[in-house]
Chains A and B, each alone.
Chain A
Amino acid sequence: MSLNRRTEALPIAIFLVLALAPVAASFGAETYLLGLFTRVMIYGIAALALDFLCGYGGLVSFGHAAFVGIGAYTAAIFGAHGVSEIAITLPVALIVSALFAYLTGTVCLRTKSVYFIMITLAFGQMIYFVAGSLSPYGGDDGLTLPLRSTLFGFPILENDRALYYAVLAFLLGSYLLLRAIVASRFGRVFRGSKENPTRMATIGFDVFRYQRVAYVIAGCIGGLAGFLLANATEFVSPSYMSWQRSGELIIMVLFGGIGTLHGAIVGAAAFLLLEDMLGGVTENWKLIFGPMLVLIVLFARGGLLGLASSIKERLSRG
């Protein structure tokens, strides 16, 4: 897993495409396309955080949508009380996500493998039902945001294009941050804990504590995604944190290529765009999507990124 020879071309291309997409969109159904790509990037942020946990730490969380929901509900609940100031709501969203990650992580990280998957799922479902029972905030029906977040009173996200670029900036920031963490001292310990926790303990690392910090980092980034999602859709509901959402995030990570970070963005894009396109063809789009996913997992172990590089290899071999 050499970090030195990481190919930079693909991540740069991904961000270039995302930066230029609004220009292309202005020739078509602009509002619709901007909305779609904003959602792609928001789920990209959530999937990045999950790839950090699964791909680098071996921690397959089946409850990651909980953090998306927490971030979204923080924005919406503040909105319901007339507070839309980013300088207040975003830090609170991150702190609540971090707290939830710290508390549940303390329990979840005592378990391994399939038990970890099940217990993260359980916590995810717990928060899902809590959100559904918040009757002052819409209960199962969810609630609408009165307006998008403002910064120091200015409605900077009111324009769809402005929101798009704000989300892009957060995606780029999350990507660069996680990349730096993966290569850092902390990241090395975290990656080592995936490879061989016993060895890591016997050379002097308290694996649990490092994993918990990583879980909190991933939780915060998930919360950030939720905060942005609430702004993009101007609506939140418990369905944001249902277990299906958590499953979709895992699918995005696998689909794009686990353990690469930028693969998670590709996976989120592929998933949501396919959903959009296939959804236009038939209501039962998952009938088509399901087999595609199976094929990708069976024949392209590294997801779409792995598929692309193995095709490239074959072509260059002639």
Chain B
Amino acid sequence: MAEPVLKIDNLRKNFGGLVVTDGVSLDIHAGELHAVIGPNGAGKTTLINQISGTLAPSDGRIYLNGADITTLPPDRRAHLGLARSFQITSVLPRFSALENVALAVQARSGSSYQFIGRADRESALNDAAMAALTEVSLDARADVLAAHLSHGEKRALELAIALAMQPKLLLLDEPMAGTGPEESERLIVVLQRLKGRFAMMLVEHDMNAVFALADRISVLTYGRILASGKPAEVRADPAVMTAYLGEELE
């Protein structure tokens, strides 16, 4: 089998005596959508933060396409093809939707140490940004300040920013969080369309989304992987039933 896009090897993170990531190992292969589910406080966001580089692990290694990225800062990981969305919406509120995405394009097209020439008039940047906005059906709102977008639109904008980075691996931290049922449906459709283009890791509480999208699911409890496998296997796993899914799927 080909080398996995993301390989996590025995990752550990503790804050003092509190162990939040307890020997997590998992692989995500090209084009695969791997969902990570688990109750609140299981360490899902902590795991994503370590993969994207905003939090340093205490032990273990992280490989992106075979390259060890464990100690690289977030901006270097981004250049290696890692993109993420945030659980709590993280956009540039006083930039237009288009400029939010254009910045992500700019980050990987030429030098940003250019001090003259208006960046907002560079058509190459704007065209690529517009294409990404179109993919998440946000093109009609391109000129609206990100602060004025609805919550669901902001989630879509985060996705567009990630797309504009042309990632090899996309980390999605609860993209449906706080969105209404209609908006969730819309995001599921968008994600379905993107599936297969790059590897994705999806952390999500919305079980409809998870079972509609995931190729594989890992269940995280107390920082440890309880079970990992195809959706049907995980659904049938008795340990998972009792630990987590039971209450949700009742």
Contact = CB atoms under 8 A, between A and B. Distances in A.
B187 interface: no
Nearest to B92: A195
Interface in A170-190: 180-181, 183-189
A3 B118 contact: yes
Interface stretch (B31-39, B100-108, B220-228, B241-249): B100-108
Of residues B78, B90, B112, B114, which shows the largest number of chain A Cβ atoms within 10 Å of its Cβ?
A: B112
B-side binding surface: helix, strand, loop or mixed? Answer: loop
A184 B104 contact: no
A213 B113 contact: yes
A205 B107 contact: yes
Contact of A203 (B99, B103, B110, B118): B103
B54 A185 contact: no
B73 A192 contact: no
B74 interface: yes
Interface string B76-95: 00110001101000111111
B27 interface: no
Interface residues of A, number: 29
B93 A195 contact: yes
Contacts of A180: 115-117
Given A196-B92, A203-B103, A205-B75, A189 B112 contact: yes
B233 interface: no
A206 interface: yes
A184 B114 contact: yes
Contact of B103 (A183, A189, A213): A189
Name the interface size band of chain B. Answer: 35 or more
Contacts of A184: 114-119
A201 interface: yes
Given A196-B90, A198-B54, A210-B112, A203 B107 contact: yes
Contact of A204 (B90, B96, B116, B165): B165
Contact of A183 (B108, B110, B119): B119
A7 interface: no
Contacts of A196: 90-93
B75 A1 contact: no
Contacts of A3: 118, 120
A188 B119 contact: yes
Interface in B28-82: 52-54, 73-75, 78-79
A1 B100 CA distance: 13
B78 to A, nearest CB: 3
A189 B118 CA distance: 12
Interface string A202-234: 111111001001000000000000000000000
Contacts of A210: 112
A312 interface: no
B54 to A, nearest CB: 7
Given A202-B78, A206-B73, A185 B92 contact: no
A199 interface: yes
Contacts, number: 101
B246 to A, nearest CB: 35
A174 B86 CA distance: 39
Contact of A198 (B90, B107, B110, B118): B90
Q: Secondary structure at chain A's binding surface: helix, strand, loop or mixed?
A: helix
B161 A203 contact: yes
Given A192-B103, A202-B78, A203-B103, A185 B83 contact: no
Given A195-B94, A204-B75, A205-B75, A181 B104 contact: no
A4 B96 CA distance: 12
Contacts of A213: 113
A201 B90 contact: no
A186 B79 contact: no
A24 B86 CA distance: 59
Nearest to B118: A183
Contacts of B110: 185
Contacts of B86: 199
Interface in A258-287: none
B75 A201 contact: yes
Contacts of B116: 180-181, 184
Given A196-B91, A198-B54, A186 B78 contact: no
B95 A192 contact: yes
Contacts of A191: 95
Nearest to A181: B115
Nearest to B125: A185
A201 B92 contact: no
Contacts of A186: 112-115
Nearest 8 A-B pairs (CB), nearest first?
A204-B78, A204-B107, A195-B92, A201-B74, A185-B114, A185-B119, A188-B119, A203-B104
Interface of A: 1-4, 180-181, 183-189, 191-192, 195-196, 198-207, 210, 213
Given A183-B118, A184-B119, A186-B114, 10 more contacts: A180-B116, A185-B119, A187-B115, A187-B119, A192-B95, A196-B93, A198-B90, A202-B52, A204-B78, A205-B75
10 contacts: A188-B119, A192-B92, A196-B93, A200-B103, A201-B75, A202-B52, A202-B54, A203-B103, A203-B161, A205-B107
